[in-house]
Structure 1
Amino acid sequence: MRDHTTDLDTYTAAFEALMPQNLASDLGPLYAEQAYFEDPFNQVYGWEAIEAIFEHMFHTVHHPKFDVLTRALSGDTAFLEWQFTFFDRQYQGHKIYGTSKVVFDAQGRVLSHVDYWDTGLYIYQKVPVLGAIIRWINRKLRPAT
């Protein structure tokens, strides 16, 4: 079995340096031909579909940046804890914390990348009316103190 430590190092470095100019050249070759990508809003196969997700990100937020905080590797599977920072259209700064499960194939390319993060906390609670409803539900679900 291949040791994927170097593959994980390369993938992590590519994500932390991700920019529109290097998206296809630096990140694209790291994915298997029919790689799977999933986050709370997308479920796609293949580099072209994955690339479209990142291109959309670059068009909708300003100065997006991923920082990998911790990582673990077991066999062909890695887990990354990350912080995603960006500015919205009003140039307000935001941070999203999440985790990714990344599976490498025998050649060291990414076969699957699944992101886990709390859309309720980081997105929906910030929508004016919807956010108030979600905060009310959260209060009702907490134990009485």
Structure 2
Amino acid sequence: MRDHTADLDAYAAAFEALTPQNLASDLGPFYAEQAYFEDPFNQVYGWEAIEAIFEHMFHTVHHPKFDVLTRALSSDTAFLEWQFTFFDRQYQGHKIYGTSKVVFDAQGRVLSHVDYWDTGLYIYQKVPVLGAIIRWINRKLRPAT
């Protein structure tokens, strides 16, 4: 069985250095032909669909940056804890913390990449009316102090 430590290190480094200019050349080769990618808003197969998600990201936020904080590897499965920073259209800075589960194939290519992060905390609570409703629900669900 292949040791995927170098694969994981290179994949994490590619994410940390990701730009619109190097998206296809530096990130694309990591993915198996029918790789699966999932985040809270997308579920797609294949590099072209994955690339479209990142292209959309680069068009909708300013200065997006991934920083891998920790990583763990067991056999062909890795977990990455990351911080995603960006600026919105009003140039307000944002940080999103999340985790990715990444599965490698025998050649070291990514078969599956699934992102886990809290859309309620980082997105929905910031929407004017919806955010107020979600914060009210959260207060009701907390134990009384």
In the alignment, which residue of structure 2 is the partner of 1:46? 46
Q: Deviations over 1:2-31 (max 9, x none)?
A: 000000011000000000000000000000
Listed as ranges, the gaps of 5+ residues in structure 1 are none
In the alignment, which residue of structure 2 is the partner of 1:11? 11
Q: TM-score, normalised by structure 1?
A: 1.00
Indicate the percent of aligned positions where both proteins have the same amino acid.
96
CA distance in 2, matches of 1:70, 1:51: 24
CA distance in 1, matches of 2:22, 2:4: 23
CA distance in 2, matches of 1:142, 1:112: 35
Q: Aligned to 1:21, what secondary structure does the other structure show? A: coil
> When the two structures are aligned, how many residues end up with a matched partner?
145
Q: Deviations over 1:26-81 (max 9, x none)?
A: 00000000000000000000000000000000000000000000000000000000
Q: Deviations over 1:73-101 (max 9, x none)?
A: 00000000000000000000000000000
Q: How far did residue 140 of structure 1 move?
A: 0.2
CA distance in 2, matches of 1:126, 1:36: 29
In the alignment, which residue of structure 2 is the partner of 1:25? 25
CA distance in 1, matches of 2:79, 2:13: 15
Q: Aligned to 1:20, what secondary structure does the other structure show? A: coil
Q: Aligned to 1:138, what secondary structure does the other structure show? A: helix
What is the RMSD computed on CA atoms of the aligned residues?
0.2
CA distance in 1, matches of 2:10, 2:102: 13
Q: TM-score, normalised by structure 2?
A: 1.00
Structure 1 residue runs of 4+, over 3 Å off? none
Q: Aligned to 2:11, what secondary structure does the other structure show? A: helix
